Chain A
Amino acid sequence: MSVAETTEHAPGYESPLITGEQTFGSISRKIGEITERKTTMTWLLAFGAAGSLALVLLGSIGYLFYEGTGIWGLNVPVAWGWAIVNFVFWVGIGHAGTLISAVLFLFRQRWRTSINRFAESMTLFAVICALVFPGIHVGRVWLVYWIFPLPNQMGMWPNFRSPLLWDVFAVSIYFTCSLMFWYVGLIPDLATLRDRAVTKVRKFVLGLFSFGWRGGNRQWKNYELAYLILAGISTPLVLSVHSVVSTDFATSIIPGWHTTIFPPYFVAGAIFSGFAMVMTLAVISRKLLGLQDFITLNHLEKMNKIMLVTGMMVGYAYSCEFFIAWYSGSIYESFAFINRAFGPYAWAYWIMVTCNVLVPQVFWIKRWRRSIAVMFVASILINVGMWFERFVIVVSLARDFLPSSWDYYKPTFWDVSTLVGSFGLFFTLFLLFARFVPMIAMSEVKGVLPEADPHHGGKP
């Protein structure tokens, strides 16, 4: 850490991707040990906390199934509430992972190697949290399988024109692909752990999951291409997923929803919030697990830059919405946006603007960009802001065309417990991952060491 903290470098000079004089061996050791050493107290405590929150989610869902969606604050006109807000929020979080692992991979951004593993994992867990909501928010959960095109005695098929159906496909496919991407990347590292393993159990389990990987170049050849392809198709996928999610709103006719800017704006927002979440986790775990040499300040700084950019994209989208609302000349649209900023939900709107547009501006300043404290706080604020963005959008329902049907949406205890619970689920999964799976893609990091280059004259 000390090294990185002080590293100042002339423009154009690419500072070392990882610090601390690492060798191939030291990498396998440092990363491997994390999963091998004895379970720490901190981990147990954290896991206990997260786990009990996850149980809160379970309880809330149980009660929901028993009573019906009425336990939430929903009403007509606001027939969608926090469930959908949380869904969109979590899906958004997921995006950073795929972006880092796929898009940056294609752009040959080699610094990604240090963070892509747990960014990907975070994607998986976020998407799992997201997938919970479309499932439970429907009125008759026991029939939710009807949205899949299964032959049945009714002779009925789903309606493929429905954005909600697109969601189901897009998100579940996104999950499957991310899972495969993640696992494929994991195979060589599992092999490494396997080969370090001493106990029989570890030998068996790791052996089993590493598929008997031998790191032969004949395998690497197919492996690399497959990985490249996955990266290649994940890129349009990740861009499409949140675009599709945005169509839930964009294809409707509700003022404030019916907006063509949504797809790009949602994707930008997703990456924005995703990076914020990665940042939060990275800052914590590099400290707790002593990964400062692998996740260096340079990595964090690069992520902060991306947050700054995406944050401003989102800000641009907000202002653009207003302009279009006015320019469209539609009284409903203009009312909807004035209502957002000054109506009953103005408080939510201004929280959103502050957190998403103003907060990231601190990253203009290099010192703050490289300050752990600043970026940690900022990342959390940004996540709050992005949650509120979705909230603001969903509750535009409260005031649409006919004033006679206007109403106000108030969350209930169960809305809150479900949201909190979903965080519990997320962190539970993340802690399990941090305990048992190599946090950093060892084979990839080795690949970016100078010694990895066959033409590197370097010492053995």
Chain B
Amino acid sequence: MIRIEHPNWFQTVLWFVVSATIVGTILTARRGRQLFVRRIPGLTAIDEAMGRATEMGRPVLFTFGLLGIGIVAMQALAILSHIARQAARYGIRLIVPVADVPLYTIAEEVIKEAYTAEGKPEAFRPEDIRFLSDQQFAYAAGVIGLMHREKVASVFYFGYFYAESLLLAETGQVVGAVQVAGTPATTQIPFFIVATDYTIIGDEYYAGSAYLSREPTLMGSLVGQDIGKLILLVMILLGTAFAVGVELLPSIFAQNWMAKLLGG
């Protein structure tokens, strides 16, 4: 059992190295260095789902779940902006019910900007961006009603979800919508996997906005994150190797030095 009220020097260095790497890659990417991001299957499905809505001439729905303004919301907004641009381009109606008021106002602005960027500011319908309720199941009940009444062709779930995830995704399935979902909430991913057509799992959520926007800041950050994960991975490999060493050659490995450094 380990107690951390304030970090030891190694923990501080670990944080600093990972942080500095991320900031460093962001800055190099901004200076114009080309970076690579692998294909993320679920994200290409967004275009497919938009295409289907165009064919059917029915609206699409985007939900953030119970998300409030914060770290996770920034990513969701980037994806929303991508979807809104496509909606403007192909003339699809985009409905966005929101459960948080500050986020509601920002979402409205993001969508409006996307329509303007596509040269169709007149097609933007502010009444389609709605604040429903900040109460979990009241919000869920409201979105369920919307899906039924508007006969949506596609539904996108990007944000933070709790128990309402399956209530919404299963309703979308019943009304016959193509659904794409992504959330960093690990406990809700299985429900999206069973009830939606494409699910972006775990960390892919954070990679998503970089993949879609190709914005240098996000691309750089993604590369930095990979290096950060690599650092953690190497630490785990070393720690495990030392643990084996302690087991097999106790005369040489008096203790697990990796663990010692980390404060264990």
A and B: real partners? Answer: no
Q: List chain B positions with a Cβ less than 8 A from chain A.
A: none
Q: List chain A positions with a Cβ less than 8 A from chain B.
A: none
